Amino acid sequence: MSHVDTALIVIDAQESFRHRPYWRNQDVAAYVDRQQALVDGAKKAGIRVVQIFHVEEQGVFSEASGFVTALAPLRIQADAVFRKRRHSALVGSGLDVWLTEHGVRRLIVSGIRTEQCCETTTRHASDLGYMVDFVGEATLTFPMTDADGREWSAEDIRARTELVLADRFARIVTVDEALSGSLRVAA
């Protein structure tokens, strides 16, 4: 696949999350560094950049909140911007039509939250026949506590997400691998 039929999807990298009770600053700097490197590298390589925002009727994800903007300090000059109301960026946003119209066959998935909208979009895209690269280092999530009281760290959640997506729904790649399109060979 060439870069002409590739799009970087930046999912929900928005200020709304800073206003959720589960927000943690600890991994944000590393995420922003990797996400910005991916966006900048995609632009330099001629890969289209698509920005997705999650919107809801009320609260911090509503348009009226003023928080449906790019997560600072990210700088994203998107080729297209879509708003979604579901976990998958491919449901009801118009993204699917745009991808088809632009001949996109390979998606590079990044954004917030690793195990929710990023994973769901990855699975959906794979089921629709897209080749998908999941860039875990350019995703962000937050600790969660399960029904048994065990706290799963953001690192645990990312590892679990990469495990269940790998070789079934996506290639798990680094920023550099995603931008080069190089194949990652399993040891």
Say whether pLDDT at 186 is over 80: no
Percentage of the chain with pLDDT > 90? Answer: 94
Position 22: which residue type?
Y
Total residues found in the chain within this entry: 187
**pLDDT average, residue stretch 86-109:** 98
Say whether pLDDT at 185 is over 60: no
Say whether pLDDT at 104 is over 90: yes
Q: What is the pLDDT of residue 63?
A: 97
Say whether pLDDT at 183 is over 50: no
Average of per-residue pLDDT values in the chain:
95
Q: Are 59 and 17 in contact (CB under 8 A)?
A: no
Q: What is the pLDDT of residue 182?
A: 53
> H or E segment at 51?
strand 48-54
Q: What is the pLDDT of residue 108?
A: 98
> H or E segment at 35?
helix 28-45
Q: What is the pLDDT of residue 2?
A: 57
Say whether pLDDT at 79 is over 90: yes
Q: Which domains does the chain have, with CATH numbers?
A: 3-180 (3.40.50.850)
Among 96, 90, 106, CA closest to 47: 106
Q: What is the pLDDT of residue 181?
A: 74
Q: What is the pLDDT of residue 106?
A: 97
Among 140, 153, 165, CA closest to 27: 140
Q: State pLDDT tens for residues 130-157.
A: 999 999 999 999 999 999 999 999 999 9
Q: What is the pLDDT of residue 184?
A: 42
